[in-house]
Amino acid sequence: MSRSLSLSAYLAYARRAGRAGPVPDQVRPPGPLIWAHAVDAARADTLVHLAERLAAQRRGLHLLLTTSSTTPARTDMAASVIWQTVPEDNLPAAEAFLAHWRPDICVWTGGDLRPALLICASRMATPLYLVDADEENLDRASWRWFPDMPRAVLGLFTEILTRTEAAARLVRRFGAPERIVTVTGAFQEGAMTLPFNAAEREEMAGLLRSRPIWLASRIHRDELATVLETHREVSRLAHRSVLILVPDDLQDCAEMRATLEAQGWRVAVWSEGEIPSETTQVILADTRGEMGLWYRLAPVTFMGSSLVSGQHGRDPNEPAAHGSAILYGPNVGRYLNRYSRYAEAGAARIVRDSPTLTAAVQRLIAPDQAAVMAHAAWDVASRGAAVTDRIQDMLLDRLDRLDAAR
3-state helix, strand, coil in the chain (%, to 5): 50, 15, 35
Most confident of 20-34, 214-228, 308-322: 214-228
Length of the chain measured in residues: 406
Residue 20 reports pLDDT greater than 60 = yes
Q: What is the mean pLDDT of residues 187-215?
A: 89
β-bridge mates for residue 109, sequence order: 131
Question: What band does 166 get if pLDDT is binned at 50, 70 and 90?
Answer: very high
- pLDDT given for residue 378 in this prediction: 87
Considering only CA atoms, which of 203, 187, 70 is closest in space to residue 137?
187
Inter-residue contact 267 to 245 (CB < 8 Å): no
Q: What is the pLDDT of residues 346-382, one digit of tens each?
A: 999 999 999 999 999 999 988 788 999 999 988 888 8
- pLDDT given for residue 15 in this prediction: 63
- pLDDT given for residue 192 in this prediction: 73
Considering only CA atoms, which of 111, 44, 104, 53 is closest in space to residue 75?
44
Inter-residue contact 39 to 192 (CB < 8 Å): no
Q: What is the mean pLDDT of residues 143-154?
A: 77
Distance CA 341, CA 321 (A): 14
Distance CA 297, CA 91 (A): 57
Residue 1 reports pLDDT greater than 50 = no
Distance CA 170, CA 193 (A): 36
- pLDDT given for residue 150 in this prediction: 84
Distance CA 334, CA 72 (A): 12
Distance CA 305, CA 314 (A): 7
β-bridge mates for residue 303, sequence order: 217, 328
Residue 159 reports pLDDT greater than 70 = yes
Residue 119 reports pLDDT greater than 80 = yes
β-pairing verdict for 33-37 and 62-67? parallel
Handedness of CA 29, 30, 35, 38 (dihedral sign): negative
Q: What is the mean pLDDT of residues 225-253?
A: 96
- pLDDT given for residue 73 in this prediction: 57
- pLDDT given for residue 2 in this prediction: 45
The CA R_g of the chain, rounded to the nearest whole Å, is: 25
The H or E element containing residue 6 is helix 5-17
Which ranges of 175-223 would DSSP assign to H, the alpha helix?
198-207
Task: Name the burial class of residue 404, with classes exposed (0-12), middle (13-18) and buried (19+) by CB atoms within 10 angstroms of its CB.
Answer: exposed
Considering only CA atoms, which of 140, 163, 166, 162 is closest in space to residue 153?
140
Residue 285 reports pLDDT greater than 90 = yes
What is the greatest pairwise CA distance in the chain? Answer: 80
- pLDDT given for residue 16 in this prediction: 61
Question: What band does 151 get if pLDDT is binned at 50, 70 and 90?
Answer: confident
- pLDDT given for residue 71 in this prediction: 66
Domains of the chain: 5-187 (3.40.50.11720), 198-383 (3.40.50.2000)
β-bridge mates for residue 302, sequence order: 216, 327
Q: What is the mean pLDDT of residues 305-323?
A: 92
Residue 228 reports pLDDT greater than 70 = yes
Q: What is the mean pLDDT of the chain?
A: 89
Distance CA 259, CA 373 (A): 32
- pLDDT given for residue 190 in this prediction: 67
